[in-house]
Structure formats: structure tokens, C-alpha cells
Amino acid sequence: MVRFAHPEFLYGLVLTPFLILMFIRSRFISKQSLKRFGNPAVLQHLMPDTGKYKHGLKFFLLIAAFSLLIVALANPQVGTRLETVKREGVDVLIALDVSNSMKAEDFKPNRLENAKRQISLMLDKLQNDRIGLIVFAGTSYIQLPLTTDYSAARLFLSAIDTDIVPVQGTAIGSAIDLAVKSFVQGEKKHKVIIIISDGENHEDDALDAAKEAAKEGIVFHTIGMGSPQGAPIPVYENGRPGGFRKDNDGNTVITRLDETTLQEIASVSSGKYIRATNRQNELEILFREIESMEKKEFGTKTFTEFEDRFQYPLAITLFFLVLEFFVSERKNRWIDRWKTIFPKAAASWIILLLSTSVSAESERSLVRQGNRQYEQKQFSDAEINYRKALEKKKELHEGQFNLGDSLYKQERYEEAADRFRSFAESNLDPSSRARAYHNLGNSLLKQQKLDDSITAYKEALKLNSKDLDTKYNLEFARQLLKKQQEQKQQKQNENKKDKEQKKQDQKQDQKPDQQNQKDNQQNQQEQKDQETARQDQQQQPEQGQEQKPQQISRQDAERILEALKNEEKNVKKKLLKKAPGRVKVARDW
């Protein structure tokens, strides 16, 4: 690819046609003057050594030298070169609250979306600082490790929502502990944690965690999302509002901004607390605070840049000027002998060169056209041109790699992964293979094939161990895989608990049935006893005879008493309902 450092000098080429017209006019005037002087045929015999085309050759050399001089002034830049640039800044970790209370709509559209906009505005202002994202609710996770790739930060920021964390609640202390572990250990400065939350901390002691972190030289800034008056938390069902969240007593939950907690956290390190507003201009204060901090050097970063090539047209310009100086206007007899042979040989060479280079030029032109369309975000059109170029030359590495990029931009991640995989396995250049494995890892990550993406990133690091972006993506893929495994384990544990609870319920349901059977047997025994008692009464002497008081044996009395107790138990069981198990009350907002 070629570009010009000073393209404004190219306007000087507009003078070339005027110079050519002036030369043609001067030759025409010269011929008219010779005709007035005498017969041209006679004059030709009088001046046999005068060259017929020497004037044109000398002018051609001069006009070519003039054009190339203008091109040299425009400074064409071709190819790339590696440079090292020092970056200085601070490490900034943003801990974003994604609990359900951040869905409250006292900010428009809600607290969470307003916070994401605040972070996006901050990314627009940061330059050399490294930034990372942590999301937290009941637990905390690293959403993006520390990086200078702000475009990646915007990508991950757009995917944040309340359902990204499996355990709800609010544990600011957990987020602080995770942020401290994410920084480079051993440094006592250049570290900032920005906590964006409504401050309703339910799970742990955030102030103690902040005090421990402040001992490591970490500066805390906090942004309060919400209003002290509070707002209800909407509940959505299939993307539609379905009322508001309620607590265990059936009351509507009102979430309020807890400024005291956030102010205390900021005060432990002389940081700033700011209450967010819909104007979203409060980040200017934090940005000035970060800019005033002492910077640290992140090392060096290599990047590619176009290399100057003005030397070549300038050298050709000098060559044409020297050649023009030595070209005489007199005829050269040796040249006259070869002038009939040279055109044929030159034509043959030109045809041969054109036949071998037309196909290559057409392939490169298709790739260049695809590159222009890619830069204009016309990814489908770029794909068509890359495929056409590969049909002409399958081993065109640039076309293969760029085709994979165009497929990735169209979110056809599986096809892009196939392209990058074949490119990485066929190309012998370690740098190109490292880039291919990096992009292969990104494509697999988009398909949620985390194990394969981790393998691809590792292959890229084997070829280029200094690539920071690959390291960050590898760490992110590992964290995402760990999170999925934890969610899967948690789901398995919940399923296991549900099965155990069902078994216990079945056992409890079987116990009353067994007890009822036992009670029925006792009732039958009581009926038999009552029948026996009636028969005994019938066998008593007739009226008028002396009746002796009926004597009941001790065993019969105990049996009757036991029967009465069982009957009382049955009555109580019918009247009382089964008491529900005790439910642990917890705040999931």
C-alpha cells in the first residue's frame, strides 16, 4: 500500500500538460521558421548530423525529471516499519454495580444504563492510561483485565447487564478485594479504583476492605447512582414490564442511594465522591484527578508505521537530469543501426512482462479494492473482491487473512475461524501466524468455544510472547470459562437440592398415610371393645335383681385411654394444616 506524506505537492503535476503544450508549440514554430528559410528537404541534406528526435528525447527526460521531483517532494510512503513508543499513565479499575437495584428508573432510562454512558464518556477522554472493568452484585467478576485497548473496553461494556452475575445482592467489599488482586502487586501508587453503585451494601463490610486497599496506595473515587428519595425496582417478563420487585412480606421494594457508605469509602484514600446526574458532566472532576496523578511507564509498545520512500524518485530525477545533459542533439550512427532492431525487441519484452504481471496486478488490485471497501465498512463487498482474488491465486496470503477479517466483521464467526485456522497452519511467517491465531481465538470466543479459544491464544503467544492484547484476551477467556463452570456447578447443586427436597417431601407424605392406617386399626379395636362391653351389659340380671357394679380390668382401661388419645391426635391433624418449612429471608437487589 502506498500513501503520500505531503499530498499537496502533487498539485504541481498539473503543470506537466502545459509544459508539453509549450514544447509542441515551440517545435511547430521552429519548423515554420525553417520552411520560411528554405526547402526542408534541401536543409536536411545540408545538416545531415542533426537529430530528428533528439529534441523530443531531451524534453522527455526533463519533463520526467520534473514530475518525479514533485513526487519526491510529496514523500511517498510504502511498506511498514516497527517503532517503539513509551506509554505513561495510571491503572484505572472501574467496579460497576450490576445488582437488580441498578434497574431503578430514577435516572433515565435506568441507573445501570446511565452508569455505562458515564464510563463510555470516560473512555473518550483517557489516552495512555490502562483501564479494566469489574462487575459485582452478590459476587464479583473481572469483565475486562487492565488494557489500553479502549475499543475492546467499549465492546465488553455494551454487554454488561444485571443477569451477567449469577448471585444477586450487593457486595462492594468483594469487588474491592478482587480489584486489589488485579493490580500489579508491590506498587504503592499509580492505582485507582472507581466504584459506581447506589451504595446499598448488604453482604459485607466495604469500609474495612477499602481501608486495607488504601494501605497499598490505591486511590478510591466513588460515584453514587440514584436518588435519596428512592425508586421501585421494575420486573420484566419476556422483555415487558411486569410490575415491581417485592420483599418476602409482599411489600414493594424501594431502593435508595446510600451516600454515607460511598463517602466513607472515598474518604479513606482522600478520593472524591460524586453524586451522578442526568447531565453526565461529573466525570470531568474525576478525569482531572486522574490526570494530576503521577504517571508510570507501562514499558514499550511496538506498532507499524509507513516508511518514507522519497529517495527513489529523487534518485531517478537526478539520473534523468544527468542523462539529459549528456544527450547530444547530433545523430548517433550506432543508434541508427539498432533503431530498427530495438523496437521489435522492446515490444517482445513488454508483451512478455505484461503477460506475466497482468494476472498478479489484477489480483493485487482486487485485494486493494477489497481493503478500501473494508475501511468503508462495506464488508460484504470486500468479501466478494477477496474471494475473486483467491480464485486467481489461492496462495495469496493477504487475501486469505483479509477475507477472514471481513467474515468476522459480518459476524460469520465459524467461517472466519476456518479461514484463520487454515492461514495459521499454512503460513510460515511467525508474525502473521501469531496474528492469525489471535483472530482465531477471537472468532472462537464469539462462538462461546472457550477451550478452543484459549488454545488459540496460547499458540499466538508461543509465536509472539510480547503481544499484550493476546494476553488480555487469554485471561478474559479463562475468567469467562471459570464463570461458566461455576454457574454450571451451582445449577447442578441446585438440581441436587431440589431432588433431595422432593425425596423428603415424599417421605413426609408417606408418614401421615402410615399413621392413618395405624389409627384405623386402633379405631377398629375400640369398636370391638365397645361391642364386647354392650354384650356384657346385656348379660346383666333383670330389673329387680340386685346389680353389682361393673368391674373393668386394668388392661382394658389402658387400651380405652390409648384409643381416646389417638382419636384426639387424629382430630388435631385434621384441623391443623401442614406448617411450611422456614425460608431464609435474603435481599436479592
Maximum pairwise Cα distance, the chain: 190
Q: What is the pLDDT of residue 134?
A: 94
Collect all residues with Cβ–Cβ distance below 8 Å to 558 and sequence separation of at least 6. Answer: none
Residue 562, φ and ψ in degrees, nearest 5: -65, -40
More confident residue, 355 or 222: 222
- For residue 187, give the nearest of 264, 261, 130, 142 by alpha carbon: 130
Q: What is the mean pLDDT of residues 343-353?
A: 50
Q: What is the pLDDT of residue 253?
A: 87
More confident residue, 382 or 37: 382
Q: What is the mean pLDDT of residues 162-181?
A: 88
Q: What is the pLDDT of residue 331?
A: 56
Q: Helices (H) and strands (E) in the chain — how many of each?
A: 19, 13
- Cα 404-406-412 angle, rounded to 5 deg: 75
More confident residue, 390 or 67: 67
**pLDDT at residue 586 is higher than 90:** no
Q: pLDDT-based confidence at 178, cuts 50/70/90?
A: very high
More confident residue, 118 or 566: 118
Q: What is the pLDDT of residue 176?
A: 92
Q: What is the mean pLDDT of residues 146-152?
A: 84
Q: pLDDT-based confidence at 202, cuts 50/70/90?
A: low
Q: What is the mean pLDDT of residues 36-62?
A: 67
Q: Please provide the distance, in angstroms rounded to a whole number, between the alpha carbons at the two ends of the chain.
A: 55
Query: What CATH number has the domain spanning 86-232+248-302?
Result: 3.40.50.410
Cα Rg of the chain (Å, integer) = 44
Q: Give strand pairing partners of 220.
A: 193
More confident residue, 426 or 471: 471
In angstroms, the CA 488 to CA 484 distance is 6
**pLDDT at residue 547 is higher than 50:** no
Q: pLDDT-based confidence at 282, cuts 50/70/90?
A: low
Q: Return the SS3 of 33.
A: helix
DSSP string, 465-530: TT-HHHHHHHHHHHHHHHHHHHHHHHHHHHHHHHHHHHHHHHHHHHHHHHHHHHHHHHHHHHHHHH
In angstroms, the CA 537 to CA 214 distance is 94
Supply the DSSP symbol for 194: E
Q: What is the pLDDT of residue 589?
A: 67
Q: Which helix (H) or strand (E) holds 543?
A: none
More confident residue, 79 or 289: 289
Q: Return the SS3 of 396.
A: coil
Mean per-residue pLDDT of the chain: 77
For the beta sheet containing 218-224, the strands, ordered from the edge strand earlier in sequence to the opposite edge, are: 140-147, 130-136, 91-97, 191-197, 218-224, 273-275
Q: What is the pLDDT of residue 355?
A: 45
Q: pLDDT-based confidence at 357, cuts 50/70/90?
A: very low
Q: What is the pLDDT of residue 135?
A: 94
In angstroms, the CA 363 to CA 367 distance is 6
90-99, 288-297, 406-415, 568-577: which is most confident: 90-99
In angstroms, the CA 20 to CA 14 distance is 11
Q: What is the pLDDT of residue 243?
A: 84
More confident residue, 528 or 149: 149
- For residue 99, give the nearest of 558, 559, 438, 589 by alpha carbon: 589
In angstroms, the CA 291 to CA 219 distance is 13
Residue 68, φ and ψ in degrees, nearest 5: -70, -30
Q: What is the pLDDT of residue 507?
A: 66
Number of residues in the chain: 589
Over residues 456-486, the pLDDT tens digits come to 889 888 888 888 888 888 888 888 888 888 8
Supply the DSSP symbol for 246: B
340-368: buried (b, 16+ CB within 10 Å) or exposed (e) per residue? eeeeeeeeeeeeeeeeeeeeeeebbebbe
Over residues 299-341, the pLDDT tens digits come to 555 555 567 788 888 899 999 888 888 776 665 554 444 444 5
Q: What is the pLDDT of residue 576?
A: 45
Judge residue 184's burial from the number of C-beta atoms within 10 Å of its C-beta, 0-12 exposed, 13-18 middle, 19 or more buried. Answer: exposed
**pLDDT at residue 436 is higher than 80:** yes
105-139: buried (b, 16+ CB within 10 Å) or exposed (e) per residue? ebbeebbbbbbbbbbeebeeebeebbbbbbbbbbb
Q: What is the mean pLDDT of residues 411-439?
A: 82
- For residue 146, give the nearest of 570, 574, 468 by alpha carbon: 468
| Whether the Cβ atoms of residue 187 and residue 295 lie closer than 8 Å to each other | no
**pLDDT at residue 348 is higher than 60:** no
Q: What is the mean pLDDT of residues 6-15?
A: 88
Residue 35, φ and ψ in degrees, nearest 5: -65, -35
Q: pLDDT-based confidence at 84, cuts 50/70/90?
A: low
Q: Return the SS3 of 202.
A: coil
Over residues 490-516, the pLDDT tens digits come to 888 888 887 777 777 766 665 555 566
Domain coordinates in residue numbering, the chain:
1-75+309-330, 86-232+248-302
Q: What is the pLDDT of residue 360?
A: 45
Q: What is the pLDDT of residue 571?
A: 59
Pairing relation of β-strands 218-224 and 273-275?
parallel
Q: What is the pLDDT of residue 294?
A: 77
Q: Out of 8-12, 50-54, 466-470, which region has the weakest mean confidence (pLDDT)? A: 50-54
In angstroms, the CA 419 to CA 438 distance is 12
